[in-house]
Copies of this chain bind each other. A is one copy, B any other.
Amino acid sequence: MNRHTSTWIRDAVNTEIEMSSRIRLARNIKGVPFTHMLEDDEDLEALGGLVSKMLPGYSLASLDGLSVQDRALLVEKHLISPNFAKRGTRVFINGDEDISIMLGEEDHIRIQALGTNTTLEALYDKAGAVDDTLEEKIEYAFDEQYGYLTACPTNIGTGMRASVMLHLPALAATNKIQRFHNNLTRFGFTLRGIYGEGSEPLGSVYQLSNQVTLGFEERVIINNLSELKNRLIEEERMARQHLMTLDTLDAVNRSLGILQHAYKLSLKEASMHLSNVKLGLDLSYIELENFNFQEWFQLIQPAFVKERVNTEEYDSPGIAAESARAALMRELLGGK
């Protein structure tokens, strides 16, 4: 298993506001009970064998063979869901780590395509190509009237969830984000923290995604989402104009100074400072080469930090992690 960040995120140096996108398709096998009703692993094992043959370029990881830490790394890389890390069985990942197929998530099959500097359309084509390949040998649970049948009714229809990760520090600072969230919900979309449902937004990074999967074609949902995304980006740009103040210049530079010098950083604080530095770069208040907001934001997450911890040196794992996170920031930002 690759314990480093994925290629696609390492190359994501110059993104602004729009960070990355993701398409996820939920599919189930006709005539087989949904995952939570399965009495044994037989059906998923058979499915795993089939997918292995159909997708020869993918590496297969059995969740049984992965430690809690390995699973957490996959979650932070967005290759598996937090839910799948707890209860999943097998995951297929391509070489570039921008496509994953989870077997035995809430649905039998979940196909994900993700990436940066790309479009939802392109990702839908990618995920769709995998979907088409699998459909050659697998008969999906499909209803002429409703579409794809899924374990949870919120996914019935297209079975598609499209998401865009957005860096919205100005909207977050001015508390406009809550108003947008409320409006979006009424149109069947949602705006929430980047690491899955219910998580608190860190570093002003939000995930815009569709909630409604039924009654619209995939490309219609993607179009609507893209329009909302552009609207949000435009609003963020306008809000940033009002943030062009001495206070912001001061705050973003202090954040840089703290990241370059601190010896202890909680996830929450590091996220905030990284977000500030990114804003400072976007506003040309700061100049920095090789700053990679997306990758570094991933590297400060708990599992990635744990990879660097020498627990014996410290009183508690918490302190060891905060210390390792600070050392990483100093190293990446050229502090001492």
Contact = CB atoms under 8 A, between A and B. Distances in A.
A313 to B, nearest CB: 10
Contacts of A247: 264
Please state the number of chain copies in the assembly: 2
A319 B257 contact: no
Determine the main DSSP class of A at the interface with B. Answer: helix
B250 A254 contact: no
Contact of A261 (B257, B263, B319): B257
A249 B263 contact: yes
A253 interface: yes
A220 interface: no
A328 to B, nearest CB: 14
A42 to B, nearest CB: 52
Size class of the A contact interface (CB-based, 8 Å):
20 to 34
Contacts of A323: 246
Contacts of A260: 257, 261
A262 B253 contact: yes
Interface in A200-254: 246-247, 249-250, 253-254
Contacts of A249: 263
Contacts of A257: 254, 256-262, 335
B246 A254 contact: no
A9 to B, nearest CB: 27
Contacts of A262: 250, 253-254, 257
A79 B180 CA distance: 60
A326 interface: yes
Interface in A145-191: none
Contacts of A250: 262-264, 326
Interface centre among A249, A261, A326 (most CB of B within 10 A): A261
A256 B254 CA distance: 10
Nearest to A330: B253
A268 B89 CA distance: 58
A151 B314 CA distance: 61
A258 B259 CA distance: 10
Contact of A254 (B258, B314, B319, B336): B258
Nearest to A335: B257
Interface string A92-105: 00000000000000
A175 to B, nearest CB: 23
Given A246-B314, A247-B264, A257-B257, 14 more contacts: A246-B323, A250-B262, A250-B263, A253-B263, A253-B336, A254-B258, A254-B261, A254-B262, A256-B257, A256-B261, A257-B258, A257-B262, A257-B335, A258-B258
25 contacts: A246-B263, A246-B264, A246-B314, A246-B319, A246-B323, A247-B264, A249-B263, A250-B262, A250-B263, A250-B326, A253-B261, A253-B262, A253-B263, A253-B336, A254-B258, A254-B261, A254-B262, A256-B257, A257-B257, A257-B259, A257-B260, A257-B262, A257-B335, A258-B258, A260-B261
